[in-house]
A = this chain, B = another copy of it.
Amino acid sequence: MLLLRRCHGLTRFGHVHIQRHHLPPAVLSHAARLCSTHDNTSHRHLSGFSWKHGLAGLLAGAGAVIAFGLHRHEAEHPAAAAAAQTAESSSSLPVFGQEEVSKHRSLSEGVWVTFRGGVYDITDFVAMHPGGEKILLAAGGALEPFWALYAVHNQEHVLEILSEYKVGELCAEDLKKQEPAESSDPYSTDPDRHPVLRVNSLKPFNAEPPPEILTDSYITPSAFFFKRNHLPVPQVDPASYQLQVEGLPGGAVTFSLEDLKTRFPKHDVTATVQCAGNRRSEMDREKQVKGLSWGISAISNAKWSGARLRDVLLAAGFGPDVAQWARHVHFEGLDKDVTGAAYGASIPLNKAVSEEGDVLLAYEMNGEKIPPDHGFPVRVVVPGVVGARSVKWVGKIAVSAEESSSHWQQYDYKGFPPGTDWNTVDYKSAPAIQELPVQSAITSPADGALIDSSDGFLTVKGYAWSGGGREVVRVDVSLDGGQTWQVAKLRSSDEAHEAPPPPGRAWAWKLWELTAPLPPPAQELEIICKAVDSSYNVQPETFPPIWNLRGLLSNAWHRVTVKIIEG
């Protein structure tokens, strides 16, 4: 009965076979024990939960930190971890063959997985999985390749949770067959990275440059450009590379790298790319959010060169007739997970085909071939739009009446109100993030820095940028916690006499600097910056009113506190 109640919350998926096989008494008693810790409150909580996508977008591809707080048994069974790790050892649990395990690949039939020789029925955990339904991809098979893909799982408390769902042992013969899967690391061919980068996640690789070097150059050197990978870096042979363009009259058309380089004019676009999670760590300090703990440097600026997407679409058959019904352009990366599912996203058609949209199929970054981490040999660059749409290693483009059904388009990279939590989130209620709001941050001095007062002046530096091609027109800096403001000097190019961008096409950030007298009696200063863009939009003052469960769009005023010391 307790078990029945526990499963009640899952019935929306259809009929659930509660006793799908003969469970030994030990398992039943374990399930009963689990249930006994679920009082009515937590049961209601589970029932009200948006099961299907409630947690989607957290982990899978988004590289988020697993939301183990949602798992109600965390730390209740510390001894269980050891049990999972020694699954090979003898136990009283039944032994299953891979064939039996493979039958359990759905919520209705049960979701089983294997790990280090153990068999786990994780049906009830699916809804609590921070990575959402992506977990179903692993159903009926081994977890190892997935955990190799999403290395965030390799933590002791993850093993602890898993151990609670153990229902049996995998037979020795089938375990042996899995060995190759266990030993392969899909990240083994990832490129070397510069050691100065601050790593947020190794597998997939996510890292940002230290703020103190971020604004040392208007163009970010590629090695320091923030890296945001959702999957292993694919190995693409430029000689055999083919870009497929679909959805246009006349059927699919393919372009080689040589085609892109020779059949279309080469365009240069200096564009800043920002991750939707830039500055997440600050929002997280207000109230916990889920996601990689980015500092202020998940943003960088490069000169991209390549063919215009518009030109390629026109060559592939795009025309006014297509514009009648098409609304979106999809991009699919060559980076794939173990099931062969590729990273994907889409942008609105008008951005893709507008002469002023400046969307590139870039084959150069800062005048050189694009480095592996940034999309070699070809990536999309969608200026003014969240980085997640600038699909790297692009292999397929499709014109469509619908938005991409990709996980990253539908169940991630959306903004929600501060009152929405993981129990109430409805992904259909918010539009996919495209243009980003106005942003700025202080890169120097660092928070907590000691400032020598001997010369009487303080220099503050940073970056400012806005989405949608809206130029940053002003950055205000306060040395007194927002009581008074001074206007920073803006720098928009390395070349002093470069013409300003046309209205609505200011794709690149501005670096800014202010040198001001130190307020004489101050021992501590709260320095704040806030930017204004050409639509006179401004940054919000604080994080609570823009707080959202995924920690995206974190653009409140940036604040650093410094101590003044006598030199």
Residues of A within 8 A of B (CB): 327, 348, 350-351, 354, 356, 415, 417-419, 430-431, 433-438, 467-468, 470, 473-474, 476, 482, 484-487, 502-504, 530, 532, 534-542, 545-546, 553
Residues of B within 8 A of A468 (CB): 468, 470, 535
Residues of B within 8 A of A348 (CB): 502-504
Report whether B542 and A435 are in contact in the complex, using a CB–CB cutoff of 8 Å.
Answer: no
Cβ-closest 4 pairs across A and B: A435-B535, A348-B503, A437-B537, A537-B537
Between-chain CB contacts (< 8 Å), 16 pairs: A327-B502, A348-B503, A348-B504, A350-B504, A417-B485, A431-B473, A435-B470, A435-B534, A436-B535, A436-B536, A438-B537, A468-B468, A476-B545, A537-B537, A538-B540, A538-B545
Contact of A546 among B350, B354, B538 (CB under 8 A): B538
Report whether B534 and A484 are in contact in the complex, using a CB–CB cutoff of 8 Å.
Answer: no
Contact of A536 among B433, B474, B535, B545 (CB under 8 A): B433
Q: A431-B473, A502-B350 are in contact. Are A467 and B535 (CB under 8 A)?
A: yes
Report whether A418 and B476 are in contact in the complex, using a CB–CB cutoff of 8 Å.
Answer: yes
* A232–B356 alpha-carbon span in the complex (Å): 39
The residue in chain B whose Cβ has the minimal distance to the Cβ of A539 is B540
Contact of A419 among B431, B486, B539, B541 (CB under 8 A): B486
Report whether B419 and A485 are in contact in the complex, using a CB–CB cutoff of 8 Å.
Answer: yes
Report whether B474 and A430 are in contact in the complex, using a CB–CB cutoff of 8 Å.
Answer: yes
The residue in chain B whose Cβ has the minimal distance to the Cβ of A356 is B350
Distance of A352 from chain B, by nearest CB (Å): 11
The residue in chain B whose Cβ has the minimal distance to the Cβ of A435 is B535
* A22–B514 alpha-carbon span in the complex (Å): 52
Q: A350-B503, A542-B541 are in contact. Are A417 and B487 (CB under 8 A)?
A: yes
Which of A430, A476, A537 lies at the interface centre, i.e. has the most chain B CB atoms within 10 A of its CB?
A537
Report whether B351 and A503 are in contact in the complex, using a CB–CB cutoff of 8 Å.
Answer: yes
* A485–B420 alpha-carbon span in the complex (Å): 9
* A530–B467 alpha-carbon span in the complex (Å): 20
Residues of B within 8 A of A438 (CB): 537
The residue in chain B whose Cβ has the minimal distance to the Cβ of A385 is B535
Which of A435, A436, A438, A538 lies at the interface centre, i.e. has the most chain B CB atoms within 10 A of its CB?
A538
* A535–B487 alpha-carbon span in the complex (Å): 25
Residues of B within 8 A of A487 (CB): 417, 419
Report whether A473 and B430 are in contact in the complex, using a CB–CB cutoff of 8 Å.
Answer: yes
* A434–B434 alpha-carbon span in the complex (Å): 22
Distance of A155 from chain B, by nearest CB (Å): 32
Residues of B within 8 A of A356 (CB): 350, 354
* A486–B537 alpha-carbon span in the complex (Å): 23
Residues of B within 8 A of A431 (CB): 473, 534
Residues of B within 8 A of A502 (CB): 327, 348, 350
Residues of B within 8 A of A417 (CB): 474, 476, 485, 487
* A268–B553 alpha-carbon span in the complex (Å): 35
Distance of A451 from chain B, by nearest CB (Å): 22
Report whether A534 and B418 are in contact in the complex, using a CB–CB cutoff of 8 Å.
Answer: no
* A530–B418 alpha-carbon span in the complex (Å): 12
Distance of A398 from chain B, by nearest CB (Å): 18
Q: A417-B485, A476-B417 are in contact. Are A553 and B536 (CB under 8 A)?
A: yes
Report whether B503 and A545 are in contact in the complex, using a CB–CB cutoff of 8 Å.
Answer: no
Residues of B within 8 A of A435 (CB): 470, 534-536
Given contacts A417-B485, A434-B503, 16 further A-B contacts (CB under 8 A): A350-B503, A351-B503, A417-B474, A430-B473, A434-B534, A434-B535, A435-B470, A435-B534, A437-B536, A437-B537, A437-B538, A476-B545, A482-B545, A530-B545, A538-B540, A538-B546
Residues of B within 8 A of A354 (CB): 356
